[in-house]
Amino acid sequence: MSEYPSTRDVFELEAHLETLRTELRGEILLPADDDYDVVRSVWNGMIDRKPSVIARCTGTRDVVATVDFAREHDLAVSIHGGGHNVAGNAVSDGGLMIDLSRMNGVRVDREDRTVRVEGGAVLGDVDHETQLFGLATPLGAVSETGVAGLTLNGGYGHLSREHGLACDNLTEVDIVTADGEVRTASEDRNEDLFWAIRGGGGNFGVVTSFEYDLHEVGPEVYATFVWYHADDAAMWLDRFRDWADSAPRTAGVLPFTAHVPELDEFPEESWGEPALAFLGSYRGDLDEATDVYAPLLDTERAIADFSGRTSFEDLQAMLDEDYPDGMRYYWKSTYLTELSDEVVDVVRRYNEEAPSTLSTIDIWSLGGAVSDVPQEATAFWHRDKPFMVNFEANWEDPDDDDENVQWAREGLAELEELPVAAGRYGNFPGLGEDPTTALFGDNYDRLVDVKIKYDPENRFRFNQNVAPRSGSD
């Protein structure tokens, strides 16, 4: 488990903080303050880091003052948007944490079909405003996820096959770089920076606002959510492979292995059994939805079938209760050139051996609009892979940490021995222990060049770090 070094003893800083306090409309928190432990906490209960200073910013001017302070006092900076990155990159030991959670405004321009989103917003904030007009932008699949981290690392979700990644729908950002300058980045302004932040993570500054294109979605969609016995998993995944080859882009499915939860919605005799589930949505003519998903639906074989029409907002929030704040998480992924029989065998076996019945193994079906974008067009590299497998270790007891982390690491290592596996995804990074080059492929050297230009001292290094020196990972 990696640890970040302390960059400044808090007592050395206190004498200098008064000036910063007067410049901020937000507040400064130190370890002795009442709210400090609450604010430094993030979604993943495994993460227990203690920054020297927390700046609770309320606007871009606050962010500029805080970045200037960090530079003047040689502090490394972590950025708390939604706080949902599984590696806990929002908070560091001994550094300065910029907390954007109060900057969560969302403004829809329905004439231009764009939405402007502040850096502390979560997905549910965006969906709530855009769905008023029957519009949406591709974001994730859990409404409490932070918009910033999701987008900067790419951003898969229910709409990806039809409309691309979250970062593909960016039209503009405002970003505070390490020199304290506020820069607007787009296709025709600071183009190199705009290229880098679309998939390059939080390496280049604090994004205070994002502007996205919007698409007609909802307010009603068809949700597929059906559970089958694990004994039939190979058959259903074989059907899924055939379905994915010809499915319309308006339809998507995320297969995942799991154990049947002990909930009244499921037959009691199935509780705790290994299972395979399909979760997805269709946004075309909803009367055609059952025909589109027919190869994946069999009511007689299903343990439970929750498929049917629902609101897009409810679809986006469907999994929220499965990922509560403070539970313990270790997620790690690899891309696949093919969903081979060998992959299916590994996934089935590790699901049965999972030490926690809360854990899942997810098979993301990619392609579509994601692969339409050339690999070199943005920093996000792994567009050519049709699938990704993510080991989601989810558990509650700290005493079980080692066993669950080992389960995910060993499962992924076995997958990576197969010739179909390659690459990493920045939003499922484990604890950030793998080389950054695994995320960025042939785009890595270009990212180093951008890093050298905008953050030569590596002020923003609590991420999947692109170090500002050639050849480093």
Other CB atoms within a 10 A radius of the CB of residue 24 amount to: 20
pLDDT digits (tens, 9 = 90+) for 4-49: 334 445 556 777 788 899 899 999 999 999 999 999 999 999 999 9
Name the band, by pLDDT with cuts 50, 70 and 90, for residue 409: very high
Distance separating alpha carbons of residues 440 and 200, to the nearest angstrom: 8
Distant-in-sequence, close-in-space partners of 48: CB < 8 Å, separation ≥ 6: none
Name the residue range of residue 152's domain. 106-216+442-454
Is pLDDT at 114 greater than 50 in this prediction? Answer: yes
Distant-in-sequence, close-in-space partners of 273: CB < 8 Å, separation ≥ 6: 229, 230, 259, 260, 303
Contact 86, 432 (CB under 8 A): no
Q: What is the pLDDT of residue 133?
A: 96
Inside any domain, residue 435: no
Residues 236 and 356 in one domain: yes
Distant-in-sequence, close-in-space partners of 443: CB < 8 Å, separation ≥ 6: 199, 375, 376, 379, 380, 381
Task: Work out the average pLDDT over 62-69.
Answer: 97
Q: What is the pLDDT of residue 11?
A: 59
Question: Where do the H-state alpha helices sit in 183-305?
Answer: 191-197, 233-246, 289-292
Residue that the structure tokens 């949505």 belong to = 281
Q: What is the pLDDT of residue 2?
A: 37
Is pLDDT at 473 greater than 70 in this prediction? Answer: no
List 455's β-bridge partners, or say none. Answer: none
Residue that the structure tokens 């500054």 belong to = 205
Inside any domain, residue 471: no
Q: State the Cα angle at 222 between 221 and 224, rounded to 5°.
A: 140
Inside any domain, residue 472: no
Name the band, by pLDDT with cuts 50, 70 and 90, for residue 472: very low
HSE-CB for 383 with a 13 A CA cutoff? 25
Is pLDDT at 158 greater than 90 in this prediction? Answer: yes
Task: Work out the average pLDDT over 418-445.
Answer: 92
Q: What is the pLDDT of residue 10?
A: 56
Q: What is the pLDDT of residue 299?
A: 86
Q: What is the pLDDT of residue 434?
A: 86
Inside any domain, residue 255: yes
> Considering its fold, how many domains does the chain have in total?
3
Distance separating alpha carbons of residues 400 and 328, to the nearest angstrom: 9
Q: What is the pLDDT of residue 241?
A: 93
Q: State the Cα angle at 276 between 423 and 424, rounded to 5°.
A: 10
Q: What is the pLDDT of residue 9?
A: 57
Mean pLDDT, the chain, as a whole number?
A: 93
List 183's β-bridge partners, or say none. Answer: 175
pLDDT digits (tens, 9 = 90+) for 235-279: 999 999 999 988 999 999 999 999 999 999 999 999 999 999 999
Task: Work out the average pLDDT over 356-374.
Answer: 94
For 460, the 3-state DSSP assignment is coil
Residues 356 and 408 in one domain: yes
Inside any domain, residue 466: no
Domain end call among 73, 99, 125: 99
Residues 202 and 292 in one domain: no
Is cis: bond before 219, omega within 30 of 0?
yes
Residues 78 and 123 in one domain: no
CATH number at residue 93: 3.30.43.10
pLDDT digits (tens, 9 = 90+) for 125-146: 999 999 999 999 999 899 999 9
Residues 306 and 162 in one domain: no
* Dmax (CA) of the chain: 70
Residues 310 and 162 in one domain: no
Residues 389 and 291 in one domain: yes
Inside any domain, residue 5: no
Residues 298 and 181 in one domain: no
Task: Work out the average pLDDT over 195-222.
Answer: 96
Inside any domain, residue 345: yes
Distant-in-sequence, close-in-space partners of 5: CB < 8 Å, separation ≥ 6: 93, 94
Task: Work out the average pLDDT over 434-441.
Answer: 90
Contact 298, 315 (CB under 8 A): no
Distance separating alpha carbons of residues 190 and 315, to the nearest angstrom: 36
Give Rg (Cα) of the chain. 22
In the chain, the percentage of residues whose pLDDT exceeds 70 is: 96
Q: What is the pLDDT of residue 12?
A: 66
Residue that the structure tokens 């700046």 belong to = 55
- 104-108's contacts with Cβ under 8 Å and 24+ in sequence apart are 106/130, 108/132, 108/133, 108/135, 108/214
Is pLDDT at 357 greater than 70 in this prediction? Answer: yes
Residues 28 and 89 in one domain: yes
Is pLDDT at 338 greater than 90 in this prediction? Answer: yes
CATH number at residue 289: 3.40.462.20
Q: Whole-prediction pTM value? A: 0.92
Other CB atoms within a 10 A radius of the CB of residue 290 amount to: 14
